[in-house]
Amino acid sequence: PYFFWSITVSRFWSPFVKDLVPYVPGEQPKLDNLVKLNTNENPYGPSPKVIEAIRAQLDDSLRLYPAPNADDLKQAIAARYGVNTAQVFVGNGSDEVLAHLFNALFQHGKPVLMPDISYSFYPVYCGLYGIEAKPLPLDEDFRIRPEDYRGENGGIIFPNPNAPTGILLPLDGIEQILQANPDSVVVVDEAYIDFGGETAITLVDRYPNLLVTQTLSKSRSLAGLRVGLAVGHADLIEALERIKNSFNSYPLDRLAIAGAVAAFEDQAWFEECCNRVIDSRRALSESLAGLGFEVLPSAANFVMARHPQRDAAELAAGLRERRVIVRHFRQPRIDQHLRITVGTPEQNRQLLTALGELL
Ligand code: PMP
């Protein structure tokens, strides 16, 4: 009966929705005894000061709307990165920031350049806004080739470090792309930059066509709070604000603003967690290599690894039976890789034990 109901009611869908192919996020099962290494969350919790700041908001003031411009948070971000608040945009996770920028800054009628192996939300946004996506192949070592990012285009976007490869493009490669494309917006999605990369935010004053996005979901352990940001020339930010204000004038709720401000204030906690993840990444990569895996050099909080003799889908299924979840992509060139989030040393040990049983 449910099936019948759903096909009859779906006749109310707009034709546009019928053709829409949405993004499918990694699964979020209940945690009981699972070693969850599938969606690149931080294995350490947020700063206790974040929890405190959110608790302090849990009162009668929730009846009031939040600050329409999240000014306190913009100030915290501007101070952290040495820019002014007119150069900062915030949204519900970088996914929302990305959605707005595809709409606000990429030119329709021209292809948007992106790596062929990259964040799979980008082609989804292209579909949503009727923009052509032009995927450019990575080189044989899975690196972005800056020299390919040129010619007529409606914008450029890539994660740095790239996801799901984890490979970092140094700032000179980014500058090469910026210089070759003075007439298009170049977006550097720095979701994973704090785990060993150098941010391109230092370039925004020299390149008015550069927009850098970041998230509090990974290095600041706040995936559940949904806070993302963009930094760039004030005119790019103004375009994002116009789109945002045409959807929902309140970028973030009161709890998210308070928690995010506190997260930027506790720099020591942030650095400690990042350093722990970086140390564990090195140990995990070495142990995986010891088990015969080929591991891509990662600057992120995950590693991409392939076993030359074992099928990746079977390994992922075997791990799951042992209550360890990792991510496997059914995509050309990476369908024999596993993307493994760096966990705590204990979680990594459980992963390696389970792999040891399977190999
Ligand atoms: N960009 C990249 C490259 C990502 O991997 C992710 C996380 N899936 C995001 C953006 C979005 O993160 P969030 O919406 O949690 O900020």
DSSP string, 16-59: HHHT-----PPP----TT-EE-SS---SSPPPHHHHHHHHTT-S
**Higher-confidence residue: 27 or 320?**
320
Using the predicted structure, report yes or no on whether residue 98 has a pLDDT greater than 90: yes
**217-236 residue pLDDT tens:** 999 999 999 999 999 999 99
Helix axes 234-247, 93-105, angle to 10 degrees: 110
- Please tell me whether the interface predicted TM-score (ipTM) of this complex is above 0.85: yes
Residue 7 pLDDT exceeds 90: no
| Residue 5 banded pLDDT, cuts 50, 70, 90 | low
Q: Name the phi and psi angles at 187, rounded to 5.
A: -105, 125
- 95 CA to middle of ligand 1, Å? 6
**pLDDT tens readout for residues 46-93:** 999 999 999 999 999 999 999 999 999 999 999 999 999 999 999 999
**Ligand 1 pocket mutation pick from 157, 217, 220, 342 by most atoms within 8 angstroms of CB:** 217
For residue 319, what pLDDT is reported?
98
Q: What percent of the chain has pLDDT over 90?
A: 90
Strand intervals (E) in 233-309: 294-295, 302-306
Return the H-helix or E-strand segment holding 157: strand 155-159
DSSP classification of residue 1? -
Q: How are beta strands 88-91 and 228-232 bridged, if at all? A: antiparallel
Cα separations in angstroms, 144 against 110, 167, 177, 199: 21, 8, 11, 17
Two structure tokens written together for 345: 């040393």
Give the mean model confidence (pLDDT) for residues 6-28. Answer: 85
Predicted local confidence at residue 44, as pLDDT: 98
Q: What's the average model confidence in pLDDT over 334-339? A: 98
| Cis peptide bond upstream of 137, omega within 30 | no
Rg (CA), the chain: 21
Q: Pick from 90, 94, 168 the residue to mutate for probing ligand 1's pocket: most ligand atoms within 8 Å of its CB.
A: 94
Under the banding of pLDDT at 50, 70 and 90, the label for residue 23 is very high
Given a cut of 80, is residue 8 above it in pLDDT? Answer: no
Can the peptide bond before residue 161 be classed as cis, meaning omega within 30 degrees of 0? yes
Query: How high is the pLDDT of residue 15?
Result: 86
SS3 per-residue string spanning 85-113 = HHHEEEECHHHHHHHHHHHHHCCCCCCEE
Is the minimum distance from the CB of 223 to ligand 1 under 6 angstroms?
A: yes
CA 97 to centroid of ligand 1, rounded, Å: 10
Tens digits of residue pLDDT in 299-334: 999 999 999 999 999 999 999 999 999 999 999 999
pLDDT for res 10: 81
Is the beta carbon of 93 within 6 A of some atom in ligand 1? yes
